[in-house]
Structures are given as structure tokens and as C-alpha cells.
Amino acid sequence: IYSGRGAKHQRKQWRLFLSILREHEQRKMDQQAATANRQGAGEAEAVLDGTEGLLEILLRIKDDAGLELPITLEGVKCVLYDIFGAGSETSTKTVEWAMAEMMKNPEVMKKAQSEVREVLQGKSKTSRVITEEDISGLKYLKLVIKETLRMHAPAPLLLPRESRESFEMMGYHVPARATILVNAWAIARDPQYWDDPLVFKPERFEGSSISFNGSCFEYIPFGAGRRVCPGIWFGLANIELPLAQLLYYFDWKLPAGVQPHNLDMSEAFGVTIGRKDSLLLHPTPARIIINPSGPPRPSAS
């Protein structure tokens, strides 16, 4: 029997979330007023624009009277909830799968780690934050992520669709308003489209035109068409940046008694696919080498 506790708890969360947004909105208004009094309205807007985050941008758009479809504070709340609700779990699981696949395939780990440490030389204790600009040169890491998303699509059945009218497909009659699920997981492992589909091989995407945008239907981890995931690049940034940090600053080992070839890769099925058992690894801070001809960098050992 549904007691209503879940709905009550969710309403409490929504109220808390909305109160936080109102606090940010009030803080923004106070900052604008204070800065305008000191420097003039034009300069105040420029100062604020230079330090805007996602929330500040959404609040600014909300105040735009020229919008054809106005955004309310309730709308801002829903957008943020969707971004972090849909983006955090899928990105976290993809990072975990990428680490698991690299631990199972040590040659891939070695190649990816060597690239990261070569490209990101100089990110020492005085400069620990790896930026999106740093990520642009990590070509092999991007292949690793692309292959991870092929074998472990965040949402294996994507999001449900509904047919607008009845039609025939491959001998099957699909009635109007039928719920349709696309098995992206199975398509990405189909030997009809992929050589050695069960082998983790990032090099398969080297020089390939296959992209994340859904234009190649054999590879649709983010969906395709007009309903393609709007958070593709946000999600990729949330995968690339943590992975680069993990590979640059740490060396990794499996627990005692576990060898790469017998690392359990069983999946736990759900709306998103995660590992059946959590990935347990031993991190060791990378040893910093002082290079007389250049900045300090971690060793590739």
C-alpha cells in the first residue's frame, strides 16, 4: 500500500530547493544593486556576466521580458533538477565503467595514462584543477570514453517513445500510441555492425566518423533525432574531467587476489546500468618527477 511518505518527502525536497533558488535570486539582486550604486548599471552588468555560473545564467534568462516563452522560478527549479538528476548518476556510472574497463585491459590504462600525463605536464600541487581546455588534447581518452559508452550505454533502453500513428515494421504491426523502447545496449553489441563487439577496443573509433549526435544508428548512447539527449556535452564534460584527474594524479591497483582477466564485469539492470558489485581499487598518489627542462609532472610508472 502506498502510504504517501514518498510524495511527502519529495514535496519537502521541492520546497527546500525552491527556497535555495530564492536565496540566490535575492543575493543576485542585492549584488546588482550594490555594484550599480558603486560603478554604474552598465559596469555592474559586465562584472556579473564575467562570473556567471549556470544558476546565474538561468536567473538572468528568467528576468528577460523579451522571451516568447517566459521562464518562471519554478521552471528554473525543474531545469536544474533535471540536469543534476539525469546527469550525475549517468556520468558517475560511466566513469566507474571506464575505470573498470581500463583495469581489465591494462594496456588501455597504460596508454590513456601516458597520454594524460604527457599532455598535462605541469599540473602540480600548485595547479591541481584540470580544465576543459586541457581536455581538448586528450584524443585517446576521448576514444576510451566513446568505447565505454558503446559497451555500457547509460540508459540501455533510452527513454520511452510513443508512436503517433500505427505502422508496420519488419512484419510487426505497431498500433498508434504504443510505447516503444529502443534497445541501444543490444544494438551497440550487435556483430552485424561491430567487429568483436564484446572486446573493449577504443582504437575502433580512431579515424571514424561515428559521433555522439545520433547520426549513426548503430551508436546511440544519447539517443537520436529531435529527442536526442540535450545534455550530451554537459554529460561528457562530467566524464572527461574526473577521468583525467583520476589518471593524472593517481596510479591504480586491483585488490589483492584480483587479476585483470577475472575482474567481475557483471551488470545490474535498471533505468541506468551500473555494476552489480562496486568497483574497488587501491589509489596511490603519482610520484612527481622534477624535470630540469620543464615543469614537474607525475611519473608514468
Which residues are annotated as part of the binding site? 229
Backbone phi and psi for residue 55, each to the nearest 5 degrees, phi listed first: -65, -45
Enumerate the known binding-site residues for heme: 229
First to last CA, the chain: 57
Give dist(CA 226, CA 139) in Å, integer: 28
Q: Which residues pair with 118 in a beta bridge?
A: none
Q: Is 38 helix (H, G, I), strand (E, B) or coil?
A: helix
Q: How far is CA 152 from CA 38, 98, 168, 257, in A?
A: 53, 9, 30, 26
Give the Cα-Cα-Cα angle 57, 93, 79 (nearest 5 degrees): 25
52 φ/ψ angles, rounded to the nearest 5 degrees = -70, 135
On whether the CB atoms of residues 155 and 272 are closer than 8 A, the answer is yes
**What single-letter amino acid sits at 288?**
I
Q: Which residues, in sequence order, are CB contacts of 9 under 8 Å at separation 6+?
A: none
Q: What is the CA radius of gyration of the chain?
A: 23
